[in-house]
Structure 1
Amino acid sequence: MAMAMQKKANVRLPPEVNRILYVRNLPYKITAEEMYDIFGKYGAIRQIRIGNTPETKGTAFVVYEDIFDAKNACDHLSGFNVCNRYLVVLYYQPNKIYK
């Protein structure tokens, strides 16, 4: 067990990788439950915030407990088909304004 943890800590992640994912192109009617079903497969989630204003509709932030789970989800869910919409999954960058 200790060996596995040690190995994981030495993995160098790209600088943009973090625990918060920004998701675009979501179906407008998606529920938090459905979001947990999709994103929860990749690890423990701290919170999900789904956009609810006209400007943020179809977007969400997914916050994972662990950065490696977030990376795994980002790698696997970008382009994932939900109700005939392909998800765009990016790492949240605080200095970037999302439109």
Structure 2
Amino acid sequence: MSIYVGNLSYEVKEEDLNEVFAEYGTVKRVHVPTDKETGRPRGFAFVELETKAEESSAIETLDGAEWMGRTMKVDEARPRK
């Protein structure tokens, strides 16, 4: 499973997300998509933790939490169409 993290500050970096999600388990991967033309982060990211239990705990705790002046939307990532 992968976690979708939305409504992020455009200043957020992979290291920032790694630090936040490390409180819930072992972070396997963090991906912050960027705009192809500007190179600027797009305001969302994907995070993978070691186990589904860790991911579920992170989703429950962080969904709706305020971070860097924004209210995060944290949910299970949906497969690409």
Counterpart check, 1:41 vs 2:30: no
* Larger Rg, first or second structure (1 or 2): 1
After TM superposition, the runs of 4+ consecutive aligned structure 1 residues lying more than 2 A away are: none
Structure 2 equivalent of residue 4 of structure 1: none
Query: SS state of the match for residue 89, structure 1?
Result: strand
What CA RMSD, in Å, does the superposition of the two structures yield over aligned residues? Answer: 1.5
Structure 1 gap segments, 5+ residues each: 1-18
**In the TM superposition, what is the alpha-carbon distance from 1:47 to its structure 2 partner?**
0.2
Query: What TM-score results when the alignment is normalised by the length of structure 2?
Result: 0.86
Q: Which has the higher contact order (CA 8 A, sep 6+)?
A: 2
1:68 aligned residue (34, 37, 53):
53
Structure 2 gap segments, 5+ residues each: none
Deviation string 1:12-40 (CA, Å, 9 cap, x unpaired) is: xxxxxxx3100100000111111111111
Query: SS state of the match for residue 90, structure 1?
Result: strand
Query: SS state of the match for residue 30, structure 2?
Result: strand
Query: What TM-score results when the alignment is normalised by the length of structure 1?
Result: 0.72
Percent sequence identity is: 26
